[in-house]
Structure 1
Amino acid sequence: MSRTRSVAGSGRGIHRRSVLAATGAVALSGGVGYALRPSDSQAATVKESTDAAVAASSRRAPAAPLAPYTKGTTLASVAAPRGSSGYRRLNDGPGWRRVVRSDLAVPKPGRAGRRTPLAAFVQLTDLHIIDAQHPLRLEYLRSADIHAWRPHEALTVQGAIALVERINALRGAPVTGAPLHFAMTTGDNTDNNAKSELEWFLKIMSGGRITPNTGDPRRYEGVQNSGLKQYWQPDAAVRDSDKQAGFPHLDGFLKAAIREVRSPGLNLPWYSTVGNHDSLPMGCYASHGDSYLTELAVGGKKLMDVSAAEARRLQAQIKKARDPQGVRYHDFLTSQARRMRSVTPDERRAPFTPAEYLQAHLDPAHRGVGPAGHGYSSANLDAGTQYYAFRISDDVIGISLDTTDSGGHYEGSIGTAQLKWLDKTLRDNKDSYAVIFSHHTSKTMTNLRRDPARPAERRHDGQEVLALLGSHPRVLAWVNGHIHKNVITPHALAGGGSFWEVSTASHVDFPQLARVIELTDNKDGTISLFTTLVESSAPHRTDFSDLSQTGLAALYRELSLNAPGASTTLGGDPRDRNTELVLKKR
């Protein structure tokens, strides 16, 4: 049993019983690394989060008995491709079995009859909501790398709404039947650090009407009606490279893709974690403040095609972090000015700053069922931070980290102040179990560039974070994304702690999955974490004549399966999908 609510006071130790007595609900504050003094905005957070708790409580499973709820999960069915070559259609396929993993503790017989639920929640990651007509997009890299642009990218909004619909339809957790307490997005919520994408993401999550179109309100203007054969031209007679691989001709596709859609919003509280695509233009450049790039983002010119040699040079600069400040990128775009095509200018395409990202989350228009700020608070704005803590249930806290590096490049790290705050938060809540959330994985936190806003502060890599977490025996899991692949890694560390790192595939690349995570006490000296993957609500089978919101969501999945150059291993091995992860109780 748990209700989510927020109170001030993260800088001090948060005593569970005191909080429960004070609020009458399970609670923890949004932390920013120092003691928060009460303020009007924080008081509002308490009230708004209480409203969210009431809304969430309406979804509770019957008090007894709790029954497993597997409908709509990959335990029941998974989209399966027909054939092994050419353009492949999708059908209903058999579900994926659950794998018990004993890497960190021996599972004891009879635990299913003893276990009690501690918490249950949903992880969404790497939604990559894309403004497909944005002038700064790097589609032209496809001339050197076929996977640099994907034919389904104009449908990210419809696909994400279908994922929200699926989560709303889950009436309980797949193993315990317990109510789902909240959802967490672990970064790369947007794709191009554009205000248009941020608005669409927040409306998808909290509810509202969305027109996934910028520029000319009457028509699409981008690579898919450019006549260039390296891109799928769905409406045109052009025999492009994707059609030669079997992609269909779909009259009216682009008109349908930019048509207004509606999201119901999640019907449970949701929290947000920041990723590199949310913080940095193109997910890799520390170029905030470059007026030329801002003017190009909102202006009337768009580069759509470059030579393979030029594309390879630019891609190498990005992958090898040779241009983290975007200086060479600026020069490259300047050199290509004559090749740019005219498009309709739009101020909504402007990049957003970290402060604007926080302000958008705090905007009451995007509250949905809460909590206000979706984890972030006015104290984060004051401090210029994007990390916080919150109480998941009576015995479990959640900690959301900011692993992006403002110095540029797409890999991550954290600064000394955040590392100290993480250690203090865990020490102050040592009587609680902890789940850590971040965008980057431990292996992809290798970027130690100094933050331009804090040039004197040292950066810390994933190994240092692992060592710190290992010194806190009540850490159960580190949940993250970034790598677009399902991978579950056991960590038994020198500090004595052991926990599971759960990395979940993206929702922009096939198989487009989210993950339900359940925490249970087995009452035998062990704890089990259950992970269960879910697809969106869109039907597995597509109908090329159905260009409705639902039909496009189904097409989004099928096109992602067929995207040229797409990896076929992102779903992971069976041990990375639906699992029971056993831990010693500490």
Structure 2
Amino acid sequence: MTTSWPTSVDRTIQRGAVQRTGPAQSYHVLTDAPGEAHVAREDLAVRRSGTPGRSLAYIAHLTDIQLLDVQSPARLEVLHGFGDSADTRRLLPMQRPQELLAPHATDALIRTLNRIRISPLTGAALDLAMTTGDNVDNMQWNEMQAYVRLLSGGPVQLDSGGPVYEGTQDGSVDWAWNPERADVGWAHAHGFPAVPGLVEAGLRPFHATGLDVPWVTCHGNHDGLVQGRTAATPELEKVMTGDRKVYGIPPGPLGDFVTNPMHLFSGPCRQVHASAERRPAKRGEFVRAHFDDGGQPHGHGFTAENVDAGTAYYAHDAIPGVRIIMLDTTNPAGHFEGSIDERQLAWLEARLAEVHVRHHDAGGRVVSGGGDERLVLIASHHPRASMTNDIAPAADHPDAGRRILGDELAGVLDRYPNVLAWISGHTHRHHVRLHQGQRHPFWEITTGSIMEWPSQARLLEIVENDDGTVSLVSTIVDHDTALVPGGTDTVDELASWHRELAANSPYSVGGRDASGTAGDRNVELVIPDPRIAAR
């Protein structure tokens, strides 16, 4: 069976020849490269059958779109003027050359997924798309509205300024790329091209196609914290919706943005147009907005219980025989790394017990659970290794109390044999690793960012083999736009520019090797079928 657009099994995209060289770096064009066959990872079991099995679930995974309002006064791009210092390292990047074009790249990727929604392995149709957070960059209402329309279809508008562009890519600062000229400033230093009209084109509203399949989502640190790091306060809301944009930092240490953000907003400013649409969308409002777009499923995973309780974690059972458990790992106390609260942990254990005939309790004893045996995928924004945030929320916060970190959470998952994998984003890198644990190993699957290189999605298919195993098959997908960007008139042309610029950006959370190794991309993870042991 073939698809209408090749996946990375058929061809890959890599950095190619150097097109321009600046004193700081060289700028590469992109080039086609051979495809990558699936690597069989048989750490847990060996598949003896050579025939394709039966598809149990077929899911698309997108993460870290970080859709953003590039003119927002709540952004501190000025920190790039200080370079990579001890003070700035935990705050950067706050500006990327390609960031204005993230919605166009996401729309192109969604349209590609719509075209290849039939599995080339089993012929199954795509059941579901899933995002794992950082859907937006700065928890702003206008960003969130654009993201929901981007996934469900509708008008996308992120120009919150006045009649003239009021961001940092206008040539007024020497620490940001001005697309109008290649011979001066940052562009010259980094070998970046001139792309006249790019900013104007990127700010134009467009109509997003939307996913053809149901989609569910997740609450990430950028969805729930200002700049993904600090809680919204009345003072910060005034900055977000106001008319003063920081273009300088006050004298002295840069300070701690998590506990004292207003210090950084007290420096020299320029006047910009104010906009109430930039107001912060806190967790409850983030959840409620997913019930208003008319897309499927209603609430996009979130439930009436989430609305009533003010929580953002849920179990999704729409795929027969499979339960997806979406966690909320954003710490409302602040900081970009994750954790969960004790109330969420108790809820998680109850949801796991419901879909296990037998599992281990905290003392290691085998106990009986529910009668609805299901395979389980855990999903969250943060992976285990990034769940290191033990800052306690205020005593009057609903999430107050001890924070549960990644290793403790993994120890709980280890007691439940039906957990096949923990799927996440946040690190902006492709990564697939086995968590061996004490009793029941599971796979940890992290997908790279759409905002940054390699700007890809991951297809995940659970396949039931006829030899007592199941396979979790991962396939990486690129959007089907031109490899060499041309003009700036269409969404596809802007998406093509986004990919090339992202491949050359020096500001990448995942680094230049964010694509990982072959074993992190197209892989078949062979797992003993846990339902057989339960029966």
SS at structure 1 position matched to 2:51:
helix
The alpha-carbon deviation at position 498 of structure 1 amounts to: 1.7
Match of 2:111 in 1: 165
The alpha-carbon deviation at position 209 of structure 1 amounts to: 1.4
Q: 1:242 & 1:332 partners in 2: Cα distance?
A: 27
1:207–1:213 CA distance, 2 compared to 1 (3 A): same
Instruction: Please tell me the residue identity of whatever aligns with 1:347.
Output: A
Match of 1:424 in 2: 350
Within-5 A mapping of 1:159-558: 159-216=105-162, 218-235=163-180, 239-286=184-231, 288=232, 290-306=233-249, 313-314=253-254, 322-324=256-258, 326=259, 328-334=260-266, 336=267, 339-363=268-292, 366-368=293-295, 370-430=296-356, 431-452=373-394, 453-454=397-398, 456-494=400-438, 496-543=439-486, 545-558=487-500
CA offset digits 1:65-109 (Å, max 9, x no partner): xx364833111222222225622112322222311111222232x
Q: 2:323 & 2:399 partners in 1: Cα distance?
A: 31
CA offset digits 1:234-256 (Å, max 9, x no partner): 12587122233221222212211
Native 8 Å contact 1:232 1:243 kept in 2: no
Q: Which runs of 4+ in 1 moved over 6 A?
A: none
Native 8 Å contact 1:99 1:580 kept in 2: yes
The alpha-carbon deviation at position 116 of structure 1 amounts to: 1.3
Match of 2:367 in 1: none
What root-mean-square deviation, in Å, do the aligned CA atoms of Structure 1 and Structure 2 show? 1.9
The alpha-carbon deviation at position 455 of structure 1 amounts to: 6.2
SS at structure 1 position matched to 2:476:
strand
Match of 1:97 in 2: 37
Q: 2:208 & 2:336 partners in 1: Cα distance?
A: 30
CA offset digits 1:362-388 (Å, max 9, x no partner): 11xx132x0010011222111111000
SS at structure 2 position matched to 1:122:
strand
Q: 1:239 & 1:323 partners in 2: Cα distance?
A: 32
1:224–1:584 CA distance, 2 compared to 1 (3 A): same
Match of 2:7 in 1: 73
Match of 2:88 in 1: none
Within-5 A mapping of 1:16-31: none
1:197–1:238 CA distance, 2 compared to 1 (3 A): farther
Aligned length: 496
Native 8 Å contact 1:68 1:176 kept in 2: no
- The alignment's TM-score, normalised by the length of structure 2, stands at 0.89
Q: State, as a whole percentage, how many aligned pairs show the same letter.
A: 34
- The alignment's TM-score, normalised by the length of structure 1, stands at 0.81
The alpha-carbon deviation at position 114 of structure 1 amounts to: 5.6
The alpha-carbon deviation at position 323 of structure 1 amounts to: 5.0
SS at structure 2 position matched to 1:375:
coil
Q: 2:117 & 2:220 partners in 1: Cα distance?
A: 29
Provide structure 1 residue ranges, at least 5 long, that are not aligned to the other structure. Answer: 1-66
CA offset digits 1:46-72 (Å, max 9, x no partner): xxxxxxxxxxxxxxxxxxxxx364833
Match of 1:138 in 2: 76
The alpha-carbon deviation at position 456 of structure 1 amounts to: 4.6
The alpha-carbon deviation at position 142 of structure 1 amounts to: 1.1
Native 8 Å contact 1:230 1:242 kept in 2: no
Instruction: Please tell me the residue identity of whatever aligns with 1:72.
Output: P
Q: 1:456 & 1:481 partners in 2: Cα distance?
A: 25
1:220–1:89 CA distance, 2 compared to 1 (3 A): same
SS at structure 2 position matched to 1:140:
helix
1:353–1:198 CA distance, 2 compared to 1 (3 A): same
Provide structure 2 residue ranges, at least 5 long, that are not aligned to the other structure. Answer: 85-91, 357-372, 531-535
SS at structure 2 position matched to 1:121:
strand
Q: 2:279 & 2:269 partners in 1: Cα distance?
A: 18
The alpha-carbon deviation at position 212 of structure 1 amounts to: 2.4
